[in-house]
Amino acid sequence: EAGVAQSPRYKIIEKRQSVAFWCNPISGHATLYWYQQILGQGPKLLIQFQNNGVVDDSQLPKDRFSAERLKGVDSTLKIQPAKLEDSAVYLCASRRTSGSPGELFFGEGSRLTVL
Amino acid sequence: AQSVTQLDSHVSVSEGTPVLLRCNYSSSYSPSLFWYVQHPNKGLQLLLKYTSAATLVKGINGFEAEFKKSETSFHLTKPSAHMSDAAEYFCVVFSGGYNKLIFGAGTRLAVHP
């Protein structure tokens, strides 16, 4: 089966600019996650979707970050305006409905550098 | 509260020698525990999982981990390191009471010839 697809793989922007990342999960996976991984740290959950509904967005900085999964398939994460501390790898992951809560399939990530 | 601590940020071994990556967890509920591996510029991949069945869990690429409730530990081991094992390893805890996955900070494993 095809894996989790993410784009772009790399993005460099200046602070206060905006950026969007796209994720296409594995076909049939109802649960989709966006994680932020800052260099030297473990991934931190930003938002979790179940189909097109938000399950957990408690750690999403809602003043600048937004995410949507309109048709319950692919998803977009947006940052506007970006800050220097947003420099990180943004990981998308998906999980099959019958899978264990910790059994996630990750994409290769989108690396953001904010100058 | 729920947390996970990886006791070593860096581990260096010689090829062919054993690997030990240490992980301790804290949870007020019965946890499920996982180890993930991340090779450079790649996504995370599940190595193995413990979900309240056998306490000794075998994973891919010869890795295994033992759940020790009395020590709140879930250390990852491999009898003989291979150059391709060089990567970042993450210990992850989940418990239904919190309904959240918590990742450790990671351990970078270096393997020398």
> Could you read off the pLDDT tens digit of each residue along chain B, which spans 113 residues?
789 999 999 999 999 999 999 999 998 888 899 999 999 888 899 999 998 778 899 999 999 999 999 999 999 999 999 999 999 999 999 877 777 889 999 999 999 99
C-alpha A54/C-alpha A110 separation (Å) is 21
* Residue B89 contacts A, CB cutoff 8 Å: no
Judge whether A45 and A59 are in contact, CB under 8 Å: yes
Which residues are paired to B84 by β-bridges?
A: none
Judge whether A102 and B34 are in contact, CB under 8 Å: yes
Interchain proximity B51–A100, CB inside 8 Å: yes
Nearest residue on chain B to A38, judged by CA atoms?
A: B105
Q: What is the pLDDT of residues A47-93, one digit of tens each?
A: 999 988 999 999 999 999 999 998 889 999 999 999 999 999 999 99
- Nearest-neighbour CA in chain B from A17: distance (Å): 25
